[in-house]
Amino acid sequence: MYLPISLVIKRAPIQYSMAYIYSEQDSYDATYFFDFHIRKIIQALNDFNEYVSEKILENKQIDSIISKDINLVDRQRYLIHHLASETNAYSTITSHATLNNISRQTAAKDIKQLVNIGLVKGTKEGKYIKYRATQKLLDMHLA
């Protein structure tokens, strides 16, 4: 697992600097520096756990709304989760097919069903059609 701590360190520039200064002033004792980084790793883990908890809650909300009225296969659910939970998220038939290791025909059928239900809409951008969450899906997600 990769856990980026750079954002956590970036939020504490003075503490970061002071860890170096304390180490220099105490005969180059790196304990201050290591202590700072250990605390930031713990903070990054806590931030990550919070993020995962939020995503789980979002997914449960989407699942509870969708499962009441609509019968979808898992790959369609994953696509709905992706489109509803990320700003400017989109999918194409090719990306859906590749991600799920299915044929383009099956991917097109999956997306067409979501379009017919009104959860996804396609817009032509260049030579591709990009499918994004409709306002209906976003409203369901935010409800």
Task: Calculate the alpha carbon distances from 138 to 23, 69, 80, 109 in Å.
Answer: 51, 16, 10, 22
Report the pLDDT value the prediction gives residue 40, as an integer from 0 to 100. Answer: 93
Whole-model pTM above 0.75?
A: no
Contact 81, 87 (CB under 8 A): no
> Which tokens sit at 21?
């200064």
Domains in the chain: how many in total? 2
For residues 48 and 79, membership in a common domain is answered with no
Q: Is residue 64 domain-shared with residue 77, that is, in the same domain? A: no
The pLDDT tens digits for 91-142 are: 999 999 999 999 999 999 999 999 998 889 999 999 989 999 888 777 665 5
State the pLDDT at residue 121: 94
Residue 19 has pLDDT above 80, yes or no: yes
pLDDT attached to residue 141: 55
What was the pLDDT predicted at 51? 87
pLDDT category, 36, cuts 50, 70, 90?
A: very high
Digit-coded pLDDT (tens) for 52-98: 898 888 778 777 767 666 788 889 988 988 888 777 899 999 999 99
Within 8 A by CB and 6+ apart from 91, the residues are 79, 82, 83, 111, 130, 131
Domain boundary among 69, 99, 127: 69
3 pLDDT above the threshold of 90: no
DSSP 8-state assignment for residue 123: E
User: What integer pLDDT is reported at residue 80 of this predicted model?
Assistant: 87
Structural domain harbouring 118 = 71-142
Last residue of a domain, one of 69, 100, 120: 69
- pLDDT value, residue 1: 65
115 and 104 in one domain? yes
Please answer whether residues 8 and 39 qualify as being in contact, where contact means their C-beta atoms are separated by less than 8 angstroms: no
CA distances from 92 to 66, 77, 113, 137 (A): 21, 15, 14, 18
